[in-house]
Structure 1
């Protein structure tokens, strides 16, 4: 699809233009105590989001930034189309908290099932998601690779404010002074809700290890019944490499950055030993001995 025909790519390009010339100091604005990227989020949009009406059959995807959400969104789009022939045209910024306040009126016209992606913390989600019992798929990625990917996104994406160094970004990440706030605050909150009705946790690392198995679990969670052949086809089309090859077609110039590398363990190219130990201590303090720690397999993926 040509760039000018891809409405999602056009929306992303508009957002990037708003970021041009914005300094790191001016990048973030705070809403209810959490920092968000000012070029794509606003208080007016958040206020409109509070009365957003979710549907029972909405497919809600929650993640911290740079945990693989755009990959998962494309997998879900393929799953919906494969099993129901419902094709979603990408016309809005992928995350419900990003964009203009009028987007929620436009979203009323979207066919079901809608895919609602968000980086919001648990207690910031629209209340109608819980009231209407929409199913929530929560995607996590180990914090070291998440931080590394977040840094590369900032410093490799045109017009997005750059950090002077990895050390500067690491300090901001550890203190929750990055867009969408603290990884650890979000993780602690979701750890309390792992066994809630209509909630499923999946990890980036598990999807990388066995994508077909992940697709099968996701399909069952959302009530789809693809055949074994359909699951395998979705997994083949949805491999990270396949997604990367189509990324510019879908997302425009930012596509190659969104699907930069997809490696597990890339954090080792950035972290110093002291930084690794600092994050180990923070993770243990926040999540040591929890069920989420077991899901994340921290000792497998975050130890050199």
Structure 2
């Protein structure tokens, strides 16, 4: 990808992130008013989720900005892990909010009282769903052009918000029109549990990146399947992979006949890198050439890992 394409991608991703921040800010004010008027626990939980959406969108904006920065002399592998650090901060906020909402929901269940003005919450949730749908459509268009991992994650988060807004509408409607007083608090508790699960999932993903965990088996297998179609990679071994922010890294050893010149080996490796990066956008490949029959002694992978790395 050339510099002009990089700049265009960065611009599109920043616009999508700014749109996300704008929608989250609008919904935060709308739901804040509805929660204040209705006194609904489910609406309060939805408000907390929107507040977290705003934080997530700001983090995404920051992550996209950092991801667009080129590697420098102090960060030779780029700045991708800044996204994971920001995600852990985000997780702490989500977990704290989930605990507070759950406590409020339990108190409301013990002292059940009708919701003051459920209509305000219903209208706010419907408007929120409409705004979220518009944002999702725009994000899909950007992702199709940039394949941004950060925007893609934000897109998935807002897709789940559609279900959340629907749950709030259902809870308030049952409270108002079916007379089920405790259902609002019950839905608030369920939303708190859902937020807690989201925090756990996000934390796991962020820690995996910080610890340089290997790619998921499906992705790793896809890489090996592609490698198997390239004749020159028949001598590939010791594959290692990791992900940092929106960037993937793969390094491995390749066997060459002893008489192969450095120039020829370089040309072969460049061709391989071109094919791999075309299939895996955002991938950085590092290839170490070995003479046929060479076996690494120091720093070699354990036998079980080496066997899994072979094609």
Same fold, judged at TM 0.5 (above): no
Structure with more of its chain in helix, by fraction: 2
Structure with the bigger RCO (C-alpha within 8 Å, sep 6+) is 1
The normalised TM-score by structure 1 is 0.25
The normalised TM-score by structure 2 is 0.24
